[in-house]
A and B are shown apart, each in its own frame.
Chain A
Amino acid sequence: MELFVEALTKAIHLLLSFDYETYLVIWFTLKVSITAILISTILSIPLALYISTNQFRFKHFILSTINTGMAMPPVLAGLFITIFLWRNGFLGRFNLLYTPQAIIIAQIFLATPLILGISISAFQSFPKKFMLQILGLGATKFQLYMIMIRECKLTLLSAIMAGFGAIISEVGASMMVGGNIKGYTRVLTTAIVTETGKGNFELAMAYGIILLLLSFSVNMILTKIQQKNRTEHE
C-alpha cells in the first residue's frame, strides 16, 4: 500500500511538473489513436450503411466475420499486421514496420470491426417502414443515409468511443508492430509495460493516470451528450 501511495504521489508530481518525456508519449498516443479512429470511422459508417440496407451474397458470412473481429485479441491483430508489413510480406516494400504508421494500421484493424459491428446493429434497428416512409416522402438514397446517421448518432458515438477505448488501451499490437521505440513509437500502454519492467512504478503510474483520465474524459463527453438528448425528450 505504501508503495502504491508513494508511486501515486510521484506520478502526480511528474504530471504537474510537465515532464517533457511524459508529455511526448501522451501526445504521440493521442495523435496515433485519434488518426486511427478517424480513419476507422470514415471507413466503417458508409460500409455499415451499405451492409445494413442491402441484401447480397455472403452477407451472413461477412457479418459473422465482423462480429468475430469485434473480439479480436490485439496480439493477434499485431501478429497479422506484422506478417503483412514484414520485409518480404505483402506490404513489406513500404518499410512500415516499427513506424507510427504501422501502429495506426494495427489500431485501424482493431477499431474497424468494433465501430462497424455496432454501427450495423444501430442501422439494422432503424425501422424498415421508417426507411420506406422517408423514401416515400421523396428522399434520395443519400438523403436517407444522412437521416439514418442523424437518428442513430448516439449509438454511432458509442461505437466510436468503444473503438477509441479499445485502441488507446491495447498494448499487444502496438508493441509488436511499433516496437516501442522511445521517442518514436512508444505509446502510453507500451510505456507502462516498459517502465513497470524497469521498476519505475511512479512513471508507469503517471502513464496509467493519464490513460484513466483520457478514458474518463471520453466517457464524460458521451454521458453529457446522452443526458442532453434525454432532457430534450422530457
Chain B
Amino acid sequence: MNNLLEGKHLKFSKKGQNIIDIEHIYLKEGEIVSLIGANGAGKTTLLLTLSTLLKLDRGNLYFMGMHIGDEIKERDYRKNISLLFQENLFLDTNVFENVAIGLRFRKCPEKIIEEKVKDMLKLINIYHLKDRNAKTLSGGEAKRVCIARALVIEPKILFLDEPFTNLDTPSKEEIIKDTGKIIKNKGISSIIVTHDKYEALSLSDRIIVMEKGKIIQEGTKEEVLHQPKNNFVACFFGVENILKGKVIEQKDGELLVDVCGNIIEVTGNFKKGTLVYLFIRPENVFLYKDEKHIKTSVRNHFRGKIVEINNFGYYYRITIDCKFTIVSYITKSSFTELSLNINDEVVIGFKATSIHVTEKI
C-alpha cells in the first residue's frame, strides 16, 4: 500500500508553545488510523494541519506523493478530503440540503446531487428524514446526517474529530458499526481522533498515541494494546495494573523485579538496577483460593486480601492487596465458584509473559 498522505517535520506553535512537533506521519491507502492522547496533546490541531485548514509553521505535506502547495494546490487537495467534527453543525435548512452542501461546493450537476444524496441517505438509514429541518433532529439522527454529509462527496481521506461523542451507548455502537462498514467498503483512508478505546479498537488498523504534540507510540492495535509505552496508553486501553519496580536480576531475557518487597518474574531486557513499570491487564490476573490450584506456567503468585468487589453484571472486578494493589477481572461463574467476600485471603497469579515492562523515565 502506498502512502496517501504523508507529513514530514511538522511544526506548529502558538504563543511560543509547541503544539505539534512531529518528524514523520503517514496514512496508507484504505487505512484507518486512530489518534489518541490526553486533552491538549495536539490531536485536533494535527488533524487541522493535515487537512491544511491550519497553516503549519514548518514542515511538508504530501498527497499521493505530491507536495501540497507546490505540486498540488491546497484547494485541490481539500477537494479530496472530508471533515467530521464532534459537534453536529448544521445549516439552517433541511437534511437533504445539509448532506448536499459538499457536492454543491464542487458544482456537481443537480441530477447527480439528487442521486448521490438519496443513495447516501438510504445507506445511512435516514432517507425518511430528508425533508426535515436538520436543527430539529435527535442526537443519533443528527450524527448520521453529519456522517452522510462527510461521505457523500466520496473523499479519498476522511478526518474525524471525536465523531461519536454525546451519543447513548446503543446508538453509538450502531453508528460506529455502520460508519466503519461504509468506510471499509468504500476504502476511504481515515484518521480518527478519539478518547474512546472502543472506537479506537473497533475501527482502526493502526493507532497513534500523542503526548505534548509528539507521537510517543504507534503500531497495530495488538502492539499498542499489549505493549503500552507509558501509563497513559496503558490506562487508555484498560491496563489497570501498573506496578513500579526495580530490576534486581537479569539473565537471558528474564528479569526479577522487586515490587514493594515482592519479587516478580518478567520477560524483558533491562539492566540490573533499572527502575521499571510493569503493566498487567486485569483479565490476565488469576484468582485462587489456595496455592495448590495454581498452574505451573503461572510463575508469579502472591497471597493477598480482597479489599473491594465490584459487580459489573457479566464480570466482577476484584481488588486485592498483596503489599501492592492489583485488580483482577473474573467471570460471574468463577466468582460464584470461588464464593469470594471482602477480607477473604486469596492467591493471585499471573504469567511472566503476560507482563509488559517499560523503563521508568
Contact = CB atoms under 8 A, between A and B. Distances in A.
Contact of B159 (A136, A140, A232): A136
A232 B97 CA distance: 15
B260 interface: no
Q: Interface extent on A, as a size class?
A: 10 to 19
A229 B133 CA distance: 11
Nearest to A229: B92
Given A132-B53, A232-B133, A137 B75 contact: no
Nearest to A232: B133
Given A130-B89, A151-B91, A233-B133, A137 B82 contact: yes
A136 B78 contact: yes
B310 interface: no
Nearest to A234: B136
Given A143-B105, A232-B133, A137 B149 contact: yes
B105 A137 contact: yes
B102 interface: yes
Given A132-B48, A232-B133, A233-B136, A138 B153 contact: yes
B105 A140 contact: yes
Interface size range on B against A: 20 to 34
Nearest to A139: B105
A228 to B, nearest CB: 12
A226 interface: no
A151 B98 CA distance: 12
Contacts of A137: 82-83, 101-102, 105, 149-150, 153
Most chain A CB within a 10 A radius of its CB, from B51, B91, B105: B105
Contacts of B75: 140
Interface of A: 127, 129-130, 132-140, 143, 147, 150-151, 229, 232-233
30 contacts: A127-B87, A127-B89, A129-B87, A129-B89, A132-B48, A133-B89, A134-B101, A135-B53, A135-B78, A136-B53, A136-B78, A136-B81, A136-B82, A137-B102, A137-B105, A137-B149, A138-B78, A138-B81, A138-B82, A139-B105, A140-B75, A140-B105, A147-B101, A150-B91, A150-B92, A151-B92, A232-B133, A233-B133, A233-B135, A233-B136
Interface of B: 48, 51, 53, 75, 78-79, 81-83, 85, 87, 89, 91-92, 101-102, 105-106, 133, 135-136, 149-150, 153, 159
